[in-house]
Amino acid sequence: MDEPNDHAIALSMAQAVEADAELIATLIREEEQARRDFELARQLEQNPDAIPEAGDGADHSGLDDETYRTLQAFNVAEQQGESTGVEAELSHEETHEASSVAGGDGTGVESATGDDSQSDADNQSYDTAPRDDVSQRDEGEIQGEEIQPEETQEEGDADDQPETTQVASPAPSELYVETKECLYCSDEFPIDMIFEAPCSHAMCQPCLIRSIRTAIKDESLFPPKCCGQAIPVDTTNTFIPEELLTECDNKREEYETTNRTYCSDKACSEFIPLRTIEAGIARCTRCETRTCLNCLSEAHEGTCTDDPESQRVIRLAEKHGWRRCEQCKNMVELTHGCFHICNLSMRPPVLLPMRETMEDL
């Protein structure tokens, strides 16, 4: 708590109230008059024939002397100005009385009276001196506060404020990062993380990889496309991991092979590329199982006999009118439409002579 500042504020408020006393009294009279006018109007509105009653006509133009003196005792400004003079006068009278008593005759009664008076005077002087010093010190402090209040306040504010350092703002080019929206997920990505397809559509890396994996699993979607144009899946495309490139190359070789051979081991069933087929025997690159190209079963010695399971499938196909596609060699069942057959890779249709067979169903 800053007592000098509080003291100065209280002194300023007391001086302002005393200086504006007449103005305050005028405002009070105007408010009282407005209140009386309102009461009179309300009485006339309720009963126009009634005689209006006079309101409270108390005059607030001033205070009586007794009340004024009572309030004046609390006036800080006046007490500061008068306390020094009154206390100095009391101290002077008491000192003069004590010296007069000390100059009388030397009787025992007068001596005792003089001693008592001297003691009382000393006590009064002792009590008065500190008040004198305190009053003068307070007055000096108040005057000092009145002379330099703004400088002290400014110094205090300067001490309270933390020191600020000037930081150079970064260049606008460092804050701005150019982004582009992915067509598939609609998220914004930095321009260097966006792949541009041949059709000029933007794709983020996760969406590009997802599209390639989907095409690998579904032959009808291979190769991966955007707007019907194939997406380049090779080493020039830096957005595709190396493992995915290898897997995509293997699937491309499988889907482009007309007569495909798969591992005879049903737990493997891996596609066997043409480069591993020799002398009618296909070797699986995953499990090293050898498969016979004629019966598509595990390789055997001697003359190859037809696989019984394959023969049963062929007989079942003949019974239901299934036909084998000339390109992929898969069995196809006609459920509706014409006799044109196309493989899963959506290549141009292949016309087959199936009309006679379908008429027999």
Write the DSSP symbol of residue 291: E
| pTM to 2 decimal places | 0.39
182 has pLDDT over 90 = yes
Most confident of 80-94, 117-131, 244-258, 346-360: 244-258
CA nearest to 75, candidates 128, 29, 147, 21: 21
Sign of CA dihedral 321, 325, 329, 332: negative
Residue 57 has pLDDT above 90, yes or no: no
Comparing CA positions, the residue from 155, 84, 85, 93 lying closest to residue 121 is 93
**CB–CB of 334/358 below 8 Å?**
yes
Band of the pLDDT at 107, cuts 50, 70, 90? very low
The two three-digit tokens of residue 220, written as one number:
């009808």
Phi, psi for 217 (deg, rounded to 5) = -80, -25
pLDDT at 159: 54
Q: Which residue has the tokens 């300067």?
A: 158
φ, ψ for residue 16 (rounded to 5)? -65, -40
DSSP state of 99: H
Q: Where are the alpha helices (DSSP H) in 58-106?
A: 65-72, 76-102
Task: Say which DSSP state 350 is in.
Answer: E
Please report the pLDDT score of residue 353 as a whole number.
43
Residues near 5 by beta carbon (within 8 Å), at least 6 away in sequence: 145, 149, 152, 153
Q: Which of 303, 301, 298, 323 is nearest to 313 (CA)?
A: 323
**255 has a pLDDT exceeding 60:** yes
DSSP result, 167-209: -PPPPHHHH---EEE-TTT--EEEGGGEEEPTTS-EEEHHHHH
Q: Would the pLDDT of 206 be above 90? A: yes
What confidence score (pLDDT) does residue 114 get? 47
The predicted-structure confidence for 270-283, as pLDDT tens digits, reads as follows 999 999 998 888 99
Of how many residues is the chain composed? 361
pLDDT tens readout for residues 212-244: 999 999 988 999 999 999 999 888 888 999 999
What's the distance, CA 181 to chain centroid?
A: 24
- Rounded CA separation 11/79 (Å): 10
Mean pLDDT of 47-59: 61
